[in-house]
Amino acid sequence: MASHFKMRPGLFRAALPLITAAFALSTALPTLAQTSKSTASDAPWWKHAVVYEIYPRSYQDSNGDGVGDLNGITQRMGYIEHLGVDAIWIAPMYPSPQVDFGYDISDYESVDPQYGTVADMEKLIAAGKEHHVRVLLDMVLNHTSDKHQWFIDAASSRNNPKHNWYVWNDGINANAPGVTAYQKRFEHEGKVPPNNWVSGFGGSAWEWVPSVHQFYYHMFYKQQPDLNWRNPEVEKACFDAMRFWLDKGVAGFRLDAIPTLFEDPQLRNNPEKGGINAQGDPNLSDEYVSNLPEVHDVIRRMRSMVEKYPGNRVLIGETYLPNTAELDKWYGGTAQNELQLPMDMLLGFHGDHDKLDVSGFRDHITEALTQTHGGQPLFVFDNHDNVRAINRYGDVDPAHAGLINKALDTVLFTLPATALTYYGEELGMVTTTPTRKEDVKDPIGITGWPKEKGRDGERTPMQWTPGPQAGFSTNPHTWLPLAPDYKTVNVEVESKEPNSQLEWFKKLTMLRRENPALHSGKLTMLDTASTSVLSYVRSTGSDSVVVAINFTAQPQTISLDVKSGKAHTLATTDPSLTSTSSTKNLTLPPYTSWVASVQ
Ligand code: BGC
Ligand code: MG
């Protein structure tokens, strides 16, 4: 298909003193309440937030079955707080046959026994409150599991009241003019799918059900039938499910695959782009199956439903879109009445080999800050669907990976934008792709092997300690193998090393909270002709902080014309810059970040 996912070809991937103390796990960062004085503002919490995505299978196993669970997350709430995280987004933890590891939901108002119970989720939310960490859930609205009672009923008979909750089609005569060889591959009872739509996960997007003699549409696996959002009963049932969790105190939702709710009512063929994808299907544009205008009416109603709740509940969208003009629509344009935070995938996800391209970053950041009618950007470089950024942005020298990861953190945490990060990123965890087909768990890696190896590599267990199973589980049979580097890349080791990935991450999240300029200062790009160093100043008027990041493997000397040029280093990834006191004639070693207050 389908540029719903950008990273994998045709699919996924498609004047603070320098803080040198290494925070041990038990060392408290200031809590929200403590820091709110220095940074008090009327802005809703999510405007300054760091949001941390947790893949629940992989974070912490509390009961020794080799699979992470909710109580595991609850146990780690102190760690999450000390990271400087304001909210966690938990990937789907609802009952599910786990074909797509939870993105195939069979009951929206419960918890999969593998992960715990509703009571465990209530405890998790309460622990979050104690630790000033808000909880966001993943809401999958495009499709359900084929084992959801709604679909079981829908597929039982054309006369069942639930039938029209899904997208059905009688198919067309296999001998009709214009039917392609591809469509004929999916022939049943003389009928073929009504058009060329392919599933993002391989094969036709239409699946035949003998009991009703019809095809149903599925954007993803055939076990994930698409809901029919043209039926108002579907909207009501889905909004009810959202209210179930809002009533329990969740702070909002990450809306899965949200641009895909509607399909073209005329079922027009998607334009062919030429060639065959990793799953063996023709490459198609997603013109008639994604980002249809109808979706915005639903989002406006959803926003007003969510806004009835106190406490600034937030809607985050998984919005892979072609450009900023399309992204602007997801905020609601001038009205700003749709999603508060549609994800901006245009900065962090370009392809298999992302580049630290200074002008590209500068231009896109400027565009995102100015072209969405005041919408708050939400930037992101890592998630559970794409090769980790530490791998994607790496250059030829593996020794640079860590510095590059730190440079991306500097960008993420020092912009006037909401920051979204993914568990393990704070440690510099890498993608560990399976090397044998028989080890693959993600079905797209099985059907797509060896061209598409699936998403297991970025879902490996969280690395807590150098001990057995990295402290993730007491069970040697973890659901996915540990990454081989866990003895050195882990929370315990890194919290004792002042220059670790983890300490850099925490330094930045703390500065973002405590420093008024980094918290809420306006951004001005500096040295805009440079093709090697990204630099900008954040300023409230009285407080100013300059940020400079060398995006290259060579040392770069810069002179930044900002205020008097007198500087005081707040944080840097290179010790040679710790006592730098001027913005002039400054040499940044390869991939180095420098953050300094200026007068
Ligand atoms: C999720 C994927 C999932 C797909 C189908 C995505 O956007 O992030 O992990 O496979 O939606 O639900
Ligand atoms: Mg478990």
H or E stretch covering 88: strand 87-90
Nearest CA to ligand 1 atom 9: 385
Beta pairing, strands 272-276 & 168-169:
unpaired
Contact predicate 218/225, CB 8 Å: yes
Kindly state the percentage of the chain with pLDDT values over 70.
93
pLDDT range class, residue 34, cuts 50, 70, 90? very low
Measured from the Cα of 140, ligand 1's closest atom is: 12
Distance 69 CA to ligand 2 centre (A): 5
318 pocket-lining for ligand 1 (C-beta < 6 Å): yes
| Cα–chain center distance at 127 | 23
Answer whether 385 contacts ligand 1 (Cβ < 6 A): yes
Task: Please tell me whether residue 563 adopts helix, strand or coil conformation.
Answer: coil
Instruction: Give residues whose Cβ lies within 5 Å of ion ligand 2.
Output: 61, 63, 65, 67, 69
The Cβ of residue 563 has, within 10 Å, a number of other Cβ atoms equal to: 15
Element (H, E) at 505: helix 501-514
What is the per-residue burial (b if ≥16 Cβ within 10 Å, else e) of 335-357? ebebbbbbbbbbbbbbeeebebe
Rounded-to-integer distance, Cα 254 and Cα 263, Å:
21
Is any ligand 1 atom within 6 A of the Cβ of residue 442? no
| Rounded distance between C-alpha atoms, residue 380 and residue 403, angstroms | 18
- pLDDT confidence bin for 395, thresholds 50/70/90: confident
Give the residue from 270, 142, 151, 253 showing the smallest Cα distance to 209.
151
Ligand 1: residue whose CA is nearest its atom 3: 103
Pick the atom of ligand 1 nearest to 201's CA.
10
Q: Which ligand is nearest to the CA of 91?
A: 1
**Residue 235 Cα distances to 46, 218, 351, angstroms:** 26, 18, 34
Q: Which CATH number fits domain 149-217: 3.40.47.10, 3.30.300.30, 3.90.400.10, 3.40.250.10?
A: 3.90.400.10
Tens-digit pLDDT profile for residues 187-244: 999 999 999 999 999 999 999 999 999 999 999 999 999 999 999 999 999 999 999 9
What DSSP designation does 353 have? S
Cβ–Cβ contacts within 10 Å for residue 99, how many? 18
The pick from 55, 89, 385 for probing ligand 1's pocket by mutation, whose C-beta has the most ligand atoms within 8 angstroms, reads 385
Domain ranges of the chain: 149-217, 521-598
Q: What separation in Å is there between the alpha carbon of 146 and the centre of ligand 1? A: 16
The 10s digit of each residue's pLDDT in 131-178 is 999 999 999 999 999 999 999 999 999 999 999 999 999 999 999 999
Going by CA atoms, what residue is nearest to atom 7 of ligand 1? Answer: 257
Is 388 within 8 Å of 501 (Cβ atoms)? no
Ligand 1 pocket member 104 (CB < 6 A): no
**pLDDT beyond 90 at 15:** no
Q: In this structure, are strands 341-342 and 378-380 parallel, antiparallel, or unpaired?
A: unpaired
Beta bridge partners of residue 598, listed in sequence order? 567
Pocket test for ligand 1, best of 11, 101, 103, 199 (most atoms within 8 A of CB): 103
Residue with the two structure tokens 């980790």: 388
Residue type, 219: M
Q: Is any atom of ligand 1 closer than 6 Å to the C-beta of 103?
A: yes
Question: Ligand 1, atom 5: nearest CA belongs to which residue?
Answer: 103
Decide: 140 in ligand 1 pocket, CB within 6 A.
Answer: yes
Q: What is the pLDDT of residue 263?
A: 98
**CA torsion angle 455 423 107 260 (round to 10):** -60
The pLDDT of 291-307, averaged and rounded, is: 98
pLDDT of 119 > 50? The answer is yes
In this model, does residue 337 exceed pLDDT 50?
Answer: yes
What pLDDT, on the 0 to 100 scale, is given for residue 8? 43
Q: Is the bond into 282 cis (omega within 30 degrees of 0)?
A: no
Q: What is the dihedral of CA 135, 141, 143, 148, to 10 degrees?
A: 70
pLDDT for position 42 = 80
Mutate to test the pocket of ligand 1, among 256, 383, 452 (most ligand atoms within 8 A of CB): 256
| Per-residue pLDDT at 6 | 45
The letter for the amino acid at 380 is: V
Centroid of ligand 2 to alpha carbon of 109 (angstroms): 20
Element housing 138 (H / E)? strand 134-140
Count of Cβ atoms closer than 10 Å to residue 504 Cβ: 26
Query: pLDDT per residue over 476-519, tens digit each?
Result: 999 999 999 999 999 999 999 999 999 999 999 999 999 999 99
- The ligand whose atoms approach the alpha carbon of 474 most closely is 2
* Rounded Cα gap, residues 104 and 106, in angstroms: 7
Contact 11, 221 (CB under 8 A): no
- Ligand 1 touching residue 100 (CB < 6 A): yes
Q: Which ligand does the CA of 12 lie closest to?
A: 1
| Ligand 1 pocket, residue 257 CB under 6 Å | yes
* Beta-bridge partners for 138: 254
- The contacts of residue 420 (CB under 8 Å, 6+ apart) are 51, 53, 89, 316, 343, 378, 379, 380
**Residue 27: predicted pLDDT:** 35
Task: Give the distance (Å) from ligand 2 centre to CA of residue 432.
Answer: 22
Distance of CA 2 to the CA centre of its chain: 18
- Decide: 220 in ligand 1 pocket, CB within 6 A: yes
Compute the distance between CA of residue 125 and CA of residue 134 in angstroms, rounded to an integer: 7
Residue with the smallest CA separation from ligand 1 atom 12 is: 103
589 to 35, 163, 395, 521: CA distances (angstroms): 33, 63, 15, 27
Kindly give, in sequence order, each residue whose CB lies less than 8 Å from that of residue 496, ignoring residues fewer than 6 positions away. Answer: 22, 24
Which region among 3-17, 58-72, 101-115 has the lowest average model confidence (pLDDT)? 3-17
Residues catalogued as catalytic: 256, 318
Ligand 1: residue of 58, 90, 93, 220 to mutate (most ligand atoms within 8 A of CB) is 220
The verdict on the CB of residue 343 being under 6 Å from ligand 1 is no
Ligand closest to CA 96: 1
CATH topology of domain 521-598: Immunoglobulin-like (2.60.40)
What is the 507 CA–ligand 2 centroid distance (Å)? 32
Q: Which residue has the tokens 């809401």?
A: 139
Is residue 475 predicted with pLDDT exceeding 70? Answer: yes
Instruction: Calculate how far, in angstroms, residue 8's C-alpha sits from the geometric centre of ligand 1.
Output: 13
Indicate the pLDDT class of residue 354, thresholds 50, 70 and 90.
confident
Question: What is the mean pLDDT of the segment spanning 438-460?
Answer: 96
State the pairing for strand pair 214-217/87-90.
unpaired
Ligand 2 center from residue 67 Cα (angstroms): 4
In the 8-state DSSP scheme, what is residue 204? B
Nearest-angstrom CA–CA distance, 72 and 68: 6
E strand or H helix that includes residue 509: helix 501-514
- What's the chain's average pLDDT? 93
Res. 4: pLDDT tops 50: no
Q: Measured between alpha carbons, how far is 94 from 137 in angstroms, rounded to an integer?
A: 10
SS3 letters for 239-296?
Answer: HHHHHHHHHCCCCEEEEECHHHCCCCCCCCCCCEEEEECCCCCEEECCCCCCCCCCHH
To the nearest 10 degrees (0 to 180), the angle between helices 324-331 and 295-307 is 40
Report yes or no: 513 and 30 within 8 Å, Cβ to Cβ. yes
112 touches ligand 1 (CB under 6 Å): no
pLDDT at residue 41 in the model? 66
**65: three-class secondary structure by DSSP:** coil
Nearest atom of ligand 1 to the alpha carbon of 220: 5
How would you label 375-409 residue by residue, b for 16+ Cβ within 10 Å and e otherwise? bbbbbbbbbbbbbbbbbbbbbeeeebbbbbbbbbb
- How far away, in angstroms, is 88 Cα from ligand 2 center? 19
Q: What is the mean pLDDT of residues 289-298?
A: 98
| Higher pLDDT among residues 29 and 581, named by residue | 581
